[in-house]
Each structure stands twice: as C-alpha cells, then as structure tokens.
Amino acid sequence: MASLNTQSRKHARKQQIRPLAGSLLALAIGLGVATAHADDALPKLPTKTPLKVGFAQTESNNPWRLAETKSFKDIAAKCGWQVVMTDANGSNSKQVSDIQSMIAQHVDLLVFPPREEKPLAPIVLQAKKAGIPVILVDRDVDQSVAKAGRDYITFIGSDFIDQGHRAGDWLVKATGGKAKIIELEGTTGASAANDRKKGFDEVIAKNPGMSIIASQSGDFARDKGRQVMETLLQAHPDVTAVYAHNDEMALGAIAAIKAAGKQPGKDIQVVTIDGTKGGMDAIAAGELGASVQSSPFFGPLACDVAQRYAKGEKIPTWVKVSDRFYDKSNVQQNMQYGY
Ligand code: AHR
C-alpha cells in the first residue's frame, strides 16, 4: 500500500484517501480544500438527477485505459449521471477540442485524465470561466497554470512518485544493488511519466551500483515499448534490468528480450507499474519481476467526490488513491484484482 507519509508531490498537496470505496473523504488530512463557496469561487455543481457529465478519455489503446473508461460507464446509472464520453486517440489537441465541445454543450460536470500536464491546463481554466466544475482523475495538470482547489475541484489519483520509489526499491533488492538499467518512459509530458521517472531516479541515485544506461519514451504502448527495447538492446547488450513506466511497455520489452535470445527474469530483471491482468500473468510466469498497481477505477471515487461537493462539503485538493504491489510472493492470491 502507498505510504501515508508521502508528501513529495511537486505542488506539495498532502491529502490522502486510502480506500477505493466507503467513507472516501473520512481520512483526508492536510490543509488544501475545495468548496463551491470558497472566495475564489469554484463553479457550483447542481444536485439534480440526471447530472450531465463529460468524460474525455485520452486514448483506448491498453487495458488500463479500458478499465478506467469502464469504471465510469459502470458508475453512471448508480450515480445518476448521464455521461457524454469522448476518446482523444492519443492526441492532446483532440482531447482539448473534445472538452471544448462538452463545454459548448453545457455539461454540468467535467471529469478527465489530462493526457499531458501543460497542454491540458488552459482548458481547465476555460471550463471554470464557463461555470463548469472539473474533477481531474488519474493524471494532473501543471499547477503553475491551473491549481487544484482554486481552478478545479480536486485531483483524484495515485502518487506516481511513490510508485517510482516502490519499483526502484524492488529492483535494488532483486539485483543486490547492482544493475545496468534501461528505462522505458511513458508519454512525454504526462504527469504519470514525469513523476514515475522522478521517483525511480531518486532511488537509483542513492545506489552507486545501479545506473540508468538508456532512457526513452515508449508512449505507454506495448508495441512502441517493444520497438524501443529492440533498438536499445542492440546499443546496450550489457543491460541487466528494465524499468518500464507501465505494464504494456514491460510486456513489449519482454517480447524484445526473448526475441534477442535472452531470458526475462533471469538475464534481465523487469519491473513496472499498473497491475494489469497481463502483467500479473507475466509475474506468475517468472518473466516480469514486479508490478506496482496503479488503480484505474476512478468512477466510484469521482461519483462520491461530486456528490459531496454538490452538498457543499470540503474536498481535499488531492484525493490520493493507494495502490497494491505484486511480485512472485503474492501474485497468485491477488489475481482477482487484475484487469
Ligand atoms: O496515467 C496512468 C498510465 O496511463 C497507466 O500506467 C498507463 O497504462 C496509462 O496509459
């Protein structure tokens, strides 16, 4: 589980929510909160049913994204939401125009994972100007442009820096503190990629026997991860470990390692983040060493936050999701959490 003490996010928000269901805001700690009636006047959210909610997805190219979208589809009826959904197909500009069209349709609430931190920040301000409250899920925006609690209600998501720490700590143990690492980064400019890199690099910097010999983006996609790994393996045949920012790229890297005649899990240790079913199967097969879970199930959390906000309750500026951790010691008994 993620540490309760982690306060390392760059905009230093300290609130945390551990359970994915139940009294979601009961464990919030820290100072920053958002209400519809604060001085800086976040837009109000009506308590009517149905509530028209816009959910603007970034892309649908992996199990994590599909699980996230499904979580919103599943909660819609229970939450009294009529959901308008879009898919930006991996394009920042399409995600922005999707959200602009939702603003033009006067949705009551906007919920979205910003594909990248900077390009998606101004649209948050446009929504606020149009009087539409925003909940960000999964990834955050650049806090120097749009700020949680001031420009949007809250960020619901994992501590990506902590995920990087946990992946790094596992690798230090698994390799006895000696490794030549290839890092496969997620989408350049995404908070998930920036922070997962930061957290992992911090651990590696404290271990003189470990070095990152190459680091390149595989855009969170399996095939891109495989292609990048193929190229990097040729340039760095001495590699002994891979850190991939998500399971899909790790699975692509495993395919490339096997194609190069090496054994993942023996010749090259692989560690990653997500906890998908595919990742868990690869752990069970001994090819993937470990995966830090990154929960995609934001639908119920967003529903709970929206209902509380509509009633005028204070919402912490970061509703922090705690994540499991899988390696060969526990993967079999946790298979039910794979997605
Ligand atoms: O933002 C979360 C990341 O985005 C997930 O790790 C990845 O699989 C997804 O595309």
158 alpha carbon – ligand 1 mean position (Å): 11
Point out the ligand 1 atom lying closest to the alpha carbon of residue 220. Answer: 10
143 alpha carbon – ligand 1 mean position (Å): 20
Ligand 1 contact via 222 beta carbon (within 6 Å): no
Residue with tokens 């069970």: 284
pLDDT at 36: 62
CATH number for region 160-294: 3.40.50.2300
How far is the CA of 266 from the CAs of 45, 174, 263, in angstroms? Answer: 54, 11, 5
Point out the ligand 1 atom lying closest to the alpha carbon of residue 294. Answer: 6
Point out the ligand 1 atom lying closest to the alpha carbon of residue 139. Answer: 1
Strands of the chain, DSSP E: 33-34, 51-57, 81-87, 109-112, 134-137, 154-158, 179-185, 210-217, 241-244, 269-274, 290-293, 315-316, 318-321, 325-327
335 alpha carbon – ligand 1 mean position (Å): 19
Ligand 1 contact via 65 beta carbon (within 6 Å): yes
Ligand 1 contact via 138 beta carbon (within 6 Å): yes
Domain ranges of the chain: 51-157+298-321, 160-294
DSSP 316-339: ESEEEEP--EEETTTTGGGGGG--
Residue 185: beta bridge partners?
Answer: 217
* DSSP 8-class letter at 268: B
Looking at CATH, the fold of the domain delimited by 51-157+298-321 is given as Rossmann fold (3.40.50)
pLDDT at 35: 67
Whether 154 and 13 have beta carbons less than 8 Å apart is answered as: no
Ligand 1 contact via 318 beta carbon (within 6 Å): no
- DSSP SS3 for 258: helix
pLDDT at 41: 86
Distance CA 61, CA 187 (A): 13
Point out the ligand 1 atom lying closest to the alpha carbon of residue 276. Answer: 8
Which pLDDT tens digits describe the chain residue by residue (339 residues)? 333 233 334 444 434 443 343 334 433 333 467 766 444 689 999 999 999 999 999 999 999 999 999 999 999 999 999 999 999 999 999 999 999 999 999 999 999 999 999 999 999 999 999 999 999 999 999 999 999 999 999 999 999 999 999 999 999 999 999 999 999 999 999 999 999 999 999 999 999 999 999 999 999 999 999 999 999 999 999 999 999 999 999 999 999 999 999 999 999 999 999 999 999 999 999 999 999 999 999 999 999 999 999 999 999 999 999 999 999 999 999 999 999
Ligand 1 contact via 194 beta carbon (within 6 Å): no
